[in-house]
Structure 1
Amino acid sequence: MGSNALPPEPGTREHTLDELRRRMAAVPGRGASVAGHMPREQPFRRDLLPVPPPLAALLPDGGLPKGAVVAYSGAHSLLTGLLAAVTANGGHAAVVGLPRLGLLAAAEMGAELSRLAVIPDPGSDPAEVAAVLLDGLDLVVLGLDGFAVPPARCRVLAARARNRGTTLVVAGGEWADPTLRLDSRVTGYRGLGPGRGRLRSVCLDVRVSAKAGQSRHGHMDLCAKAGRTEWLPRETLSRTAEGTALREAVS
């Protein structure tokens, strides 16, 4: 751009992209402050992004590969868990085109909101906004709102994510040839009484499909406890519930 060129008009697509690039330039180097935020459950690896512990047991390498494209469908709870795991461990993440994704829920899962950028309305081309964000973040979650990305563009964005080492998670649309597919669905709730009572946990079924190898299927629970939200394998919660019932029965 020449020295006499005018800056893009505010509110235009070009202005939005220029503003995103400016913010990306101010993001600290990746991993600069990871050491002080190591999760107790999962050691940090340079080639993988951390995930909620029950999901790690289903993934082929125990985390999301950096530079991969993950096609996601199902409950937003697991998406929020991914964002929380990455930002709590010192990573930077962004959410594009998912205005209903709850920041309060992310904070209760341990997310560091100062490391999370949210673009609820990316305009008519959310994939282009995501492409800019791939340049400097660890995780980008892109909501497609039912849109099918053409295969040729999928290949271009996948190559960009791979070259930048940024994991791209695409949700609510169609994406050709992703590295992984994650599907989750809510199968039940615990703690609700007839007309009263508190919601103590949400039960999820999760399936992980990779390009090579068999699909893996597991169950996990999102549990509320003292203002925090924890991820537990289904069997862990079952043992806890049984122990509580036994103590109540003998007391």
Structure 2
Amino acid sequence: MAEVADSGQAGLAELAGLAGLSRQDRLEHLRRRMAAVPARGESVAARPPSQPAEAAGVSRSSAGVLPVPPALASLLPRGGLARGSVVSVSGAGSLLLGLLASVTESGGHAAVIGLPRLGLLAAIEMGAELGRLALIPDPGPDPVEVAAVLLDGLDLVVLGLGGLAVPPSRARAVVARARSKGSTLVVTDGHWDGAEIRLEARVCGYDGMGQGAELGRGRLRALRLAVSARGRAFQPRTTRLDLRPVRGRVEWTAETVRRPGMLPDAVSW
């Protein structure tokens, strides 16, 4: 755990200085970073023809799709995030962390832009591999430009807009770039026209926070989410999920009713 945390801190330290660079220097720095990223043949949805699908941990039917927590797959038309698409995510931060964990754990590479308060510990508990995650908490005055550069070499790019609305003409240009590069862009905390899928997560309950006079006391042992998906090509869908620790790892499962006497492990999120 300490080694993984150190890896994340090193990424923060290396990339935090982008705000102090000129536009040209910032782009050159990001392109050097991309040159160091393993080729897509080593990532989540691409592999040498001779490598069995089972060895890569990705089924043949998942080509062109980035994985999501299994409990979320039924919400999405292709069972995951389509490469070359733009997805809008809003609401509870656990949803975003689950997407990052699924992609990096499966061998994909991701970047998070403009989200300095990202919960790295919670991401690790969901299975995220921080060695495959670049963090850019302060991308400077033009985070959309930074995202466009990172789409060249990563499987998933998460862009925090800080409440801004991206003009439709610029959004279309970035969508075209994502499509041409086969990368997936996830936008959050702002307005983006033209997202193919919009995911929203709402906290609808907790376990472990006490009842009656003890309400609000204790340690959080499970989190219940209502997650909805909307898109141009399918009818709106909603599901309810439990996030709870199982043998030291946070698992996503269809919501269940806990039997009396069952006491799940405590969690740090």
In the alignment, what sits opposite 2:57?
38
What runs of 5+ residues in structure 1 fail to find an aligned partner?
1-9, 246-251
Q: Deviations over 1:176-206 (max 9, x none)?
A: 1111111111111112222643211111111
Match of 1:167 among 168, 179, 184: 184
**Counterpart AA for 1:172:** D
Contact 2:90–2:201 at 8 Å: present in 1 too?
yes
Q: TM-score, normalised by structure 1?
A: 0.86
Shift of 1:213: 2.3
Contact 2:43–2:155 at 8 Å: present in 1 too?
no
Describe how 1:145-224 pairs up with structure 2 within 5 A. 145-193=162-210, 194=214, 196-224=217-245
Structure 2 residue 34 is matched with structure 1 residue 24: yes
Contact 1:141–1:169 at 8 Å: present in 2 too?
yes
Aligned length: 230
Distance 2:22 2:56 in 1: 38
What secondary structure, in the 3-state scheme, does the structure 1 residue paired with 2:40 have? coil
Structure 2 residue 22 is matched with structure 1 residue 12: yes
In the alignment, what sits opposite 1:229?
250
Describe how 1:118-133 pairs up with structure 2 within 5 A. 118-133=135-150
In the alignment, what sits opposite 1:113?
130
Contact 1:51–1:64 at 8 Å: present in 2 too?
yes
Contact 1:183–1:207 at 8 Å: present in 2 too?
yes
What secondary structure, in the 3-state scheme, does the structure 2 residue paired with 1:207 have? strand
Distance 1:243 1:38 in 2: 37
In the alignment, what sits opposite 1:7?
none
Contact 1:31–1:91 at 8 Å: present in 2 too?
no
User: Following superposition, which runs of at least 4 residues in structure 1 exceed 3 angstroms of deviation?
Assistant: 33-37
Decide whether aligned partners of structure 1 residues 205 and 26 sit closer, same or farther in structure 2, where only a CA change above 3 A counts: same
**Counterpart AA for 2:28:** D
Decide whether aligned partners of structure 1 residues 221 and 31 sit closer, same or farther in structure 2, where only a CA change above 3 A counts: farther
Q: TM-score, normalised by structure 2?
A: 0.81
Distance 1:138 1:120 in 2: 19
Decide whether aligned partners of structure 1 residues 225 and 43 sit closer, same or farther in structure 2, where only a CA change above 3 A counts: farther
Coordinate RMSD, CA, aligned: 1.9
**Counterpart AA for 1:100:** R
Alignment identity in percent? 59
Decide whether aligned partners of structure 1 residues 206 and 33 sit closer, same or farther in structure 2, where only a CA change above 3 A counts: closer
Distance 2:56 2:222 in 1: 26
What runs of 5+ residues in structure 2 fail to find an aligned partner?
1-19, 45-52, 263-269
Bigger CA radius of gyration: 1
Shift of 1:12: 2.3
**Counterpart AA for 2:100:** L
